[in-house]
Amino acid sequence: MNNNQIEQFKKMKTEVTRFMMMYQFALNELETKIEILKEEFQFLHDYNPIEHTKSRVKSLESIMKKIGRKGITFSLEDIKHNIKDIAGLRITCSFIADIYQIRDMLKNQFNLQINEMKDYIENPKPNGYRSLHLLVEVPVVMSDGRENVCVEIQIRTIAMDFWASLEHKIFYKYNQAVPSSLLLELKEASDSANKLDQQMERLNREITAIKENQEEDYGQELSQLLMNNQQFKLPASLMRFGNQTE
């Protein structure tokens, strides 16, 4: 290998390393924002809708396989524009309503640009998969400039995540056609998980309403007690007389 080839190899290695680091930095930026949300909810609202998060950057090997399947040329710019899930963040929530609340917070509070949204909760996939998918642009500042990096965010409930994780394990590396009877059972399992989500959300709403009514009743009782105490307050002249006799 001559000096020119060595220099080209070093340059390519640097560019690929920088390319991969951009996606890791974008995830770090997003995870910091999520941690801020979690702490705010915990300390100010006494409720944290985010159960846990998980992030990953695709390995270079996975990226190479994907560009091979898609017929993309080995150009970092082409890869950036054609593969949108190099960096991924999964947020698992308590309830379905939390999913859309977190989406709105990411968009409004943190000014993240949402380029694409796929709502597989309102419109599940045929096999029963449910989740909210967002493609967002995360600004990343590097030593040689600023880059907008695409990150795929998946937001789902615990039940949705349970179903999706086990479905992936069952069919991981299964390259043949799945029998229709198994597909039907998968769909039924997804429907059962969705019913559980709906039931738990209803229970949460009812408990929240009861707590709010109790707090309102307590506030009214306290106000009435304070008013009663004011009614039985001694006149100012008697208060002065009492102070003089001491």
Residue numbers annotated as active site: 152
Tokens of 111: 């000014």
Task: Give the 3-state secondary structure of 134-156.
Answer: EEEEEEEEECCEEEEEEEEEEEE
Burial (CB count <10 Å: 0-12, 13-18, 19+), residue 45: exposed
- According to DSSP, the β-strands at 50-57 and 113-119 are unpaired
Q: What is d(CA 75, CA 158) in angstroms, rounded to the nearest whole number?
A: 38
Total number of residues shown for the chain: 246
Instruction: Say which residues have a Cβ less than 8 Å from residue 24's Cβ, sequence separation at least 6.
Output: 57, 87
Q: How many C-beta neighbours within 10 Å does residue 214 have?
A: 10
Q: What is d(CA 156, CA 25) in angstroms, rounded to the nearest whole number?
A: 23
Tokens of 33: 């924002």
Q: Which long-range contacts (CB under 8 A, 24 or more apart) does 180-189 make?
A: 183/126, 183/127, 186/127, 186/128, 187/126, 187/127, 187/128, 188/128, 189/128, 189/163
Burial (CB count <10 Å: 0-12, 13-18, 19+), residue 162: middle
